[in-house]
Amino acid sequence: MMIVALNNKCNLTKKEFREYQIKLQEVKTTSKLILCPSFLYLDQFNLTNIKLGAQNVSTTDCGAYTGEVSAKQLKEENVDYCIVGHSERREYQQEKNEEINEKIKRLFSYQITPILCVGEKRSEREEGLEKQVVLKELTMATKDLTEEEKGKVIIAYEPIWSIGTGLIPTAEQIIEIIHTIKEMFPQNKVLYGGSANEENIDTLKEISEIDGYLLGGLSLKPEKLQIFLEKLEK
């Protein structure tokens, strides 16, 4: 089954989220949909056709950590998945692979499945470093996990130069990276993320190596998301 994860990022007011949720309820799909809204709306989530995810988690458990949200708290909100290591957090919050590793361990201790984002910058691809970057991120983020835990991590390949830019890698570029990932992580689901939309899905869906998608911009447009899913599942 294809996995389609919706990363709302820092979008939607409370009123907009209510309307959005009503529209999402109408979406028809045979894929597994995972909605990752703002923390603020986790407890408003009431859809039965979609799984719930978070966009981030603390490296710490509950305690004196102002502004943090722990894996335990997420679990109580019925969160089953959590994005970690998104490139926006790596860039704007200077998140490091070591912290991402801590977060993944916290998630597993509360049976929450991590969706681990990896991907190279434009300059790294220009220098031919993309495989090296992705493998380093994966190795460091999964350090000291059990083999069973390692196999459960959902990996999202999101080339940074592709996020929100309308640019997508060629099929050969995506296949090359996914093969590299699967050599090291043969059991894992690998999603593609970065400007995936209802138009380029016709091309992307031909890539049999892709186990699903992590959608940013398109996640906020239920009508276009429906077209995307119909094309993907045709």
Q: Which residues are near ligand 13P by CB under 6 A?
A: 7, 86, 158, 163-164, 193-196, 214-218
Nearest approach, Cβ of residue 101 and ligand 13P (Å): 19
User: Which residues are the active-site residues?
Assistant: 86, 158
Beta carbon nearer to ligand 13P, 72 or 224: 224
Beta carbon nearer to ligand 13P, 76 or 199: 199
Beta carbon nearer to ligand 13P, 4 or 112: 4
Beta carbon nearer to ligand 13P, 91 or 126: 91
Question: Which residues touch 84 (CB under 8 Å, ≥6 apart)?
Answer: 56, 57, 100, 103, 104, 107, 114, 115, 116, 117, 141
Nearest approach, Cβ of residue 224 and ligand 13P (Å): 11
Nearest approach, Cβ of residue 89 and ligand 13P (Å): 10
Closest-by-Cβ residue to ligand 13P is 216
Nearest approach, Cβ of residue 80 and ligand 13P (Å): 17
Can you tell me the distance from the alpha carbon of 213 to that of 227, in angstroms, rounded to the nearest whole number? 14
